[in-house]
Amino acid sequence: MFGRHGRRFETPWLRAYFKAAPWYTPRADFTIAELSQTDKDNVKMIQTVEAKRHERLSSDSLVENQLDGLFPEVARRLRNEIFARHGRTFKDPLLQSYFASQEWYHPDSKFDLKMLTPIERANIQTLQRYEARARDGQRFTPG
């Protein structure tokens, strides 16, 4: 919604994402006040749903059909968020920029895979399987 209204993005990964969109035209005069109440309500709802999804990455087992419809790059960020929440730093500059823009992210030079819980390890595997299927254009089909 912000991009459709021309908001300029300071966060490098967001700026790169929207710059690649042919419909995006940044505007210096954008203000949140120009969003409709419906847009504002939708933003709030999306933020709430995303926050819950992110919080559950470490506490609840993911089921593959919950992921259907996610772009592979979104699933990749979710997978890497599990590592990032333990302070992992990333060689990929876009991933590092994304996590550095999050309030909760605190790089830890002592990051170790042993920090991950069994649920987090299982969720990483679930996300990896989904990413592979999504890249191939496959949808989840229950066994």
Q: Quote the CA–CA distance of 139 and 81 in Å, as a whole number.
A: 23
Q: What is the DSSP letter of 11?
A: S
- Residues sharing a CB contact under 8 Å with residue 26, sequence separation 6 or more, in sequence order: 6, 7, 8, 9, 18
Task: Tell whether 87 is covered by a domain.
Answer: yes
State residue 140's pLDDT score.
46
Residue 122 is assigned to a structural domain of this protein: yes
Give the best-scoring range by mean pLDDT among 28-37, 68-77, 119-128, 133-142: 119-128
Token pair listed for 31: 């203000």
**Does residue 81 fall inside a structural domain?**
yes
- Beta strands in the chain, from DSSP E residues, in sequence order: none
Task: Flag whether the pTM goes above 0.75.
Answer: no
pLDDT at 121: 96
CATH number for the domain including 107? 1.20.58.1690
Amino acid making up residue 120: E
Distance, in Å, from the CA atom of 52 to the CA atom of 70, rounded to the nearest integer, reads 16
* Distance, CA of 134 to CA of 108 (rounded, Å): 31
Answer whether residue 110 is part of any domain. yes
| 109 within a domain of the structure (yes/no) | yes
Give, as one character, the DSSP assignment of residue 105: -
Structure tokens at 105: 């992210």
Residue at 46 is within a domain: no
- List the structure tokens of 113: 């895979």
Q: Is residue 125 part of a domain?
A: yes
pLDDT tens, 54-67?
778 888 898 888 88
What radius of gyration, in Å, describes the C-alpha atoms of the chain?
17
Q: CA angle, 34 as apex, 30 and 39 as ends, to 5°?
A: 115
Instruction: Spell out the residues 6+ positions from residue 6 whose beta carbon is closer than 8 angstroms to its own.
Output: 24, 25, 26, 27, 30
Q: Which two tokens stand for residue 23?
A: 């419909």
Each residue's pLDDT tens digit, 105-116: 999 999 999 999
Report if residue 33 sits inside a domain.
Answer: no
Q: Which domain holds residue 74?
A: 63-138
Residue 143 has pLDDT above 60, yes or no: no
